[in-house]
Amino acid sequence: MKTAAKITAVLFLAVQFWQPPRNIASPEKTAADSGDFIELHPEIPAEIESLLRTSCYNCHSNHTRYQFYDFIQPGRFLVESHIKNGKKELNLSEWSGYIPRKQERLLRTMAEQIETGAMPLPAYTFIHADARLDSGRVKQISEWLRSLEF
C-alpha cells in the first residue's frame, strides 16, 4: 500500500508539469476573432455584457480567464475539455463567422440552455460562484437574447 501511495504521489507531481497550451489571447487568435459577439452588439446592456463574460466566455470564447486552481492536474484536462467542447458548440469570439441562420439557432439555444439550467455547466458554477445565474438573471439574459432580430 505504501508503494502505491508513493507512486501515486510521484505521478501526481509529475503530471502537474503536463500543461496544455492556454486558451488566451495571442496574435494568431486575435486575427481569428472574426467578430466578437459583444463587440458586434454595442447596444448590449452593461449588466448583460458582464454576465456573459463571467458565466459564458471562459468556455465559449478564445479568451479564458484562468484562475490558479484551473492549472492543478488532472483538473486542468477537464478544464480544457470543457473549453474545447464549449468552443465547438459556440465560440463567441468568432460570432460573425457564423451564417445568420446559425446565429439565430445559437441565440435560441443559448436562451433555452440557461432557462433549463443546462448552462452554465453545474460543474463550472460549483467552483465559480460568481458565474451562477439566478432566475432573475436568467430571465434578463434570455429576454435580451430572444429580442435580437433576424
- Cα gap 134→63, rounded to integer Å: 24
Chain-centroid distance, C-alpha 108? 17
Nearer to other proteins, 1 or 129 (CB): 1
User: What backbone torsions phi and psi does residue 120 show, to the nearest 5 degrees?
Assistant: -60, 155
- In the structure grid, which three cell numbers stand for residue 102, read together? 446559425
Stretches 24-32, 108-116, 124-132, 134-142: which one binds other proteins (CB under 8 A)? Answer: 108-116
Stretches 47-55, 98-106, 122-130, 133-141: which one binds other proteins (CB under 8 A)? Answer: 98-106
- Helices 46-55, 135-147: axis angle to 10 degrees equals 110
Nearer to other proteins, 69 or 77 (CB): 77
- Cα gap 22→39, rounded to integer Å: 23
From 19, 34, 67, 81, residue interacting with other proteins (rule: CB under 8 A): 81
For residue 1, state whether it binds other proteins (rule: CB under 8 A): yes
- In the structure grid, which three cell numbers stand for residue 113, read together? 440552455
- Cα gap 147→71, rounded to integer Å: 38
Nearer to other proteins, 61 or 142 (CB): 142
Instruction: Name which of residues 35 to 74 contact other proteins (CB under 8 A).
Output: 73-74
Residues that bind other proteins (CB under 8 A): 1, 3-4, 7-8, 11-12, 15, 18, 73-74, 77, 81, 84, 88, 99, 101-102, 104-105, 108-109, 112
